[in-house]
Structure formats: C-alpha cells, structure tokens
Amino acid sequence: MAKMNPNFTKLKKNYLFIEISKRITDFTKANPDAAKNLIRMGIGDVTRPLVPAVVEAGKKAFDELAVKETFRGYEDSGRGYDFLREAISGYYKDFGAEVPADEIFVSDGAKSDSGNIGDIFADDSVVLVTDPAYPVYVDSSIMGGKTVVYASSDESNGFAAMPENFKGSQTPDIIYLCSPNNPTGSAYTREQLKSWVDYAAANKSIIIYDAAYEAFITESDKPRSIFTVEGARKVAIEIASLSKTAGFTGTRCGYTVVPKELTLESPDGETSLFDLWSRRQGSKFNGVSYPVQRAAEAVFTPEGQTQTRETLDYYRKNAEIMQETLTQLGIDFTGGNNSPYVWFKCPNGMDSWEFFDLMLSKANVVGTPGAGFGQNGINRFRLTSFNTHENTREAMERLKKLLLPL
C-alpha cells in the first residue's frame, strides 16, 4: 500500500476556522433572529471590490486572448511578464528599495510561496517562527520534516518578537518574519529589522520576510520592505501579495523577491538560492494568468495607486474606530496603526475561546480567538477592519455595552 508522508501526523489539527464556523452554525440554529444581526470580523478576507483601473485592465487582457493575433498561451519564463515585474520594481523604488525586475518572481499569492519556499532547504533545517504566527509557516515546515522553534511575541515586546526572545539552543537556518504582523498587527521599526538582519548574518540564516500587509504602513520609521534595511540583500527574501493591498484575495497574484547574491550550503560548496528557486518554480509552477498579470500591473499605475489607496483608507478608518473603542475601554491592544488588525487582551481574564463565545452570543460579533495562532494568543482576540464603517461602529457599540457594566 502507498504510504503517507509521516510528517503529516505531526501537524496540529487545523481546527481554528472549522471550530469557528461550527460555533457560528450552532449559534445560528439556536438563535435565528440574533443571527440576522451577526457582524463578521473574524476571517482575514477583504470585502471591498476591485478598483475600476484593475477591472478594466483585466477585461482588456481577456479580450486580447479572444483574438488570434494577440492570443497568448504559456508564458515563456513562468516567472511573470516583464511588464509586471518592471511595474513592481518601480513600486519598490517609490518607497526606497532597489529591487531589480529580474529578481522578482510573480506568483499566485504569498501563501503558496511562503509554504513552497521550504522545498529548496534541507529537510533537517531549523525554522524559527514567532509565536503567534500565520499558520502556513509552521504547517509547511512540519510537512517538509523541518524542526520548528519559536521566538515569543508577547506583552513584553509589543507582540513583535526580537532575536533575544528566542531562548532555544539551536541555530536557526530559516527565519520567518511577518511585518506588519498577522495576527498581532505589530510592525517592526527599521532598527528592529536591522537587528534581525544582523542576527541572520551572524548565524548564516535566511530570513523569509512576509510583507503581505506593507501597504497598510503609515508610520515612516516602519519599513515597507526589508530591502530598505542595510545588509538585507545578503540574508533575506521577501514575499508580498496584492491580496490585502488591492483586494486580490480571489483574483490571486503575489510576488517574491530573491536577491541574486544569496546562497545555500550545498554538497559541492554553495549554490545560488535564486537558481534553486528558479528550478523549483520551473518544475512545479507554470505562471499566473495573463489577464491577472495585466490587472496586477494596473495596481501600480498612478490611477491604480490612487484608487487602491482609497480602499486602504476606508479600512484604516475602521481600524481607527476599533482603536478608539479599545482605548476608551482601557483594553490593552496592538495593531490598527499600520495594519488592518487589532489584537487585544480578552477582558476579565477570559481565555480567547471563552471571549469568542461571549462576543458571539451576547454581542453577535465574530472575531478570531488568538489561541488559533499560537500559545501566546491564548488570551488575545483578533478583529479585522475588513468591513463597513457602519458594521464596525455597530460592533464597537455592542462591545462597549457588553463590557461597560462588568
């Protein structure tokens, strides 16, 4: 009989979103009227539609595919058309990062790249992740047989783990960082990221930097790209996505930057990480659809930037509304400034599932229990700004009503 990959037995049950939807279904069945007022601020999916510049570009590209002269099939490189890679390179230049177009790999999103990148590292690699973290880093590392170690993100460091928060004795080969962070909403300053870059250089580790939320950054001391930090090209790759930046969660497009000077130890010395990733992608990936790449290109035009910024501002306003309420209630939180998430301490010593149930049953608001992201989330709760102003205000009124009499 064919045997399963035994590493899969080491995965934790992926019960977070399953358990959330089960509890919602149970509640809805028992309370059909209250269920009509349910406000969902749990799942990290955007809610505002694609902007007109993006939609027009995508439609136009589809029309080209309908005509013999302009039809396109497989893309030669599978790494993204030049027009899009040049546009991304120009976008980086706007916030001070030198990223040559030929170091950019266009992808179907940051989730697949952040999981697939493990393919090019040895199975016995030690992977450092922050706790809490986006679950993909942990699960994909475990599937590949790698060892996962943790650096604690907690109240002592504003939920932004630093190298000294890793207490283990192993030397990490791979370090996953996510800033602005999902789920904690914290964002590293340039100095903090420099500490990580120096740490990686000293330990000969590779940083996999997830910049999926870079577009939410407003504070100038928080870098939009790790490549604005000195020395980063020698230790880091960066993974980004148009999912949160431009509402591409359903359209699917992201990109990964691999500096050509990065190397990994190999049996005959050192091998270029860029070559390894090219080989991996060439074998298992055939590129992103042409219309989606044209739609993505439109995000980086002046018109696309103006339009997508309006959407980002809309979400920012929601984050502000949540921050105001949490401040009024005297609840400790991180996020909301450079992030669509607020991450706050569950009141009255509740754990995150208890508070989830209370919010669902008494306020009819759905959030995400922090426990789903790691040990350090067991008494924290995540709310997202991907909703309407009206719903966000209403949810905050209900939270106040729920907590003020306590």
* Secondary structure (DSSP) of 266-326: ETTEEEEHHHHHHHHHHHH-----HHHHHHHHHHTSHHHHHHHHHHHHHHHHHHHHHHHHH
Distances (CA, A) of 43 to 17, 182, 366: 8, 11, 9
Stretch that binds ligand PLP, among 26-34, 91-99, 106-114, 378-386 (CB under 6 A): 106-114
Using alpha carbons, select from 299, 361, 330, 340 the residue that is nearest to residue 30: 361
Alpha carbon 377 to chain centroid distance? 17
Smallest separation (angstroms) from ligand PLP to the CB of 361: 27
DSSP SS3 for 369: strand
CB 224 within 8 A of CB 339: no
Stretch that binds ligand PLP, among 105-113, 163-171, 217-225, 226-234 (CB under 6 A): 105-113
Stretch that binds ligand PLP, among 27-35, 94-102, 237-245, 392-400 (CB under 6 A): 237-245
Among 42, 58, 80, 109, binds ligand PLP (CB under 6 A): 109
3-state helix, strand, coil in the chain (%, to 5): 50, 15, 35
Does the footprint of ligand PLP cover residue 134 (CB under 6 A)?
yes
Q: Which is nearer to ligand PLP, 193 or 399 (CB)?
A: 193
CB 236 within 8 A of CB 210: no
Using alpha carbons, select from 63, 50, 48, 46 the residue that is nearest to residue 291: 63
Does the footprint of ligand PLP cover residue 243 (CB under 6 A)?
yes
- Which residues in the 23-82 window bind ligand PLP by CB under 6 A? 44
Using alpha carbons, select from 184, 195, 194 the residue that is nearest to residue 159: 184
What is d(CA 177, CA 58) in angstroms, rounded to the nearest whole number?
32
Stretch that binds ligand PLP, among 80-88, 164-172, 239-247, 273-281 (CB under 6 A): 239-247
Stretch that binds ligand PLP, among 189-197, 215-223, 243-251, 269-277 (CB under 6 A): 243-251
Does the footprint of ligand PLP cover residue 364 (CB under 6 A)?
no
Residues 152-181, mask of contacts with ligand PLP (x by CB under 6 A): --------------------------x---
Does the footprint of ligand PLP cover residue 249 (CB under 6 A)?
yes
* Secondary structure (DSSP) of 154-167: SGGGTT---GGGB-
Smallest separation (angstroms) from ligand PLP to the CB of 254: 4
Among 125, 225, 241, 384, binds ligand PLP (CB under 6 A): 241
Q: Which is nearer to ligand PLP, 154 or 210 (CB)?
A: 210
List of residues contacting ligand PLP (CB under 6 A): 44, 109-111, 134, 178, 182, 210, 212, 241, 243-244, 249, 254
